[in-house]
Amino acid sequence: MKRIAVVGPIPRDHIVTHTGDLIQKWGCVTHPVIALSVLAGDQLEIIPVCHVRTVDHDNVEEVFTGYKGINTKHITTANDQGDIISLRFVDQNNRLERQTGFMDPILPADMTNLLDCDAFVFIPISDYEISLETLKYLKKKSKGKIIFDAHGPTTACLVNGERQRKFWIDRDQWLPFIDVLKMNLEEAHASWFKKEYESQDFKCSGIGPGRNPGICRTLSFLRG
């Protein structure tokens, strides 16, 4: 049976829609794990790898109850840290994000018993959540393919909890250890940059994760 590890946070999401409705759910890693289970749960071992808060552990595991093929033994609480994120949509396309809880990074030690996996799907949502050493370790020790989402390294969490788009400045340190890189248009813009800019290049009305790329002049010069 093939094995696939899905690596990243399971944030406790508080979402306020643009119509004022409140939605609370567990996000990120839960989505592809459940999708894989629905598609091939009786032919595949799906392993979510993440750190969560102790108080959240039982509720997180309950999300996967009833789905075939999911191994939850690698959802751990050693440091009692996990992501907590608030999303407030100002309209259908744009949102304000704030993070008030932080998963400790996934390190090589988290992967030592998973080296026989056929694929590793990394889906970080902030730049600190996956250690580069983890990818280096897997490249050296495992034959599994590494699929990596650029959302993490292009998103920073500020000291006031705001989540904002950032340049992936150390991109070239990561690329040799990634087999498949996934990104959307906004993340692609943040992954390609000039060596130097003028101050006026950064005059903008603000841009953050989930916002419309068209609202900020920053993206216009990145396209060039």
Domain regions of the chain by residue span: 2-185
Q: What is the mean pLDDT of residues 80-93?
A: 91
Residue 31 confidence (pLDDT) above 50: yes
Confidence class of residue 204 from pLDDT cuts 50, 70 and 90? low
CA 64, 65, 68, 71 dihedral sign is: positive
On the CB side of 122, CA atoms within 13 Å amount to 33
pTM score, whole prediction: 0.87
pLDDT value for 219:
41
Contacts of 115 (CB under 8 A, 6+ apart): 138, 141, 142, 144
Q: Compute the distance between CA of residue 212 and CA of residue 214 in angstroms, rounded to an integer.
A: 5
**Out of 9-13, 14-18, 33-37, 203-207, which region has the weakest mean confidence (pLDDT)?**
203-207
In the prediction, which pLDDT does 215 show?
Answer: 35
Residue 112 pLDDT > 60, yes or no?
Answer: yes
| Exposure letters 131-147 (e unless 16+ CB within 10 A, then b) | eeebbebbeeebebebb
Is the pLDDT assigned to residue 223 strictly greater than 70?
no
Q: Which CATH class is domain 2-185?
A: alpha beta
With a cut of 80, say whether residue 220 has pLDDT above it.
Answer: no
* Per-residue pLDDT tens digits for 113-172: 999 999 999 999 999 999 999 999 999 999 999 999 999 999 999 999 999 999 999 999
Q: Is the pLDDT of residue 86 over 80?
A: yes
Contact yes or no for 150/127 (Cβ under 8 A) = no
- What is the percent of the chain with per-residue pLDDT over 90, rounded to a whole number? 78
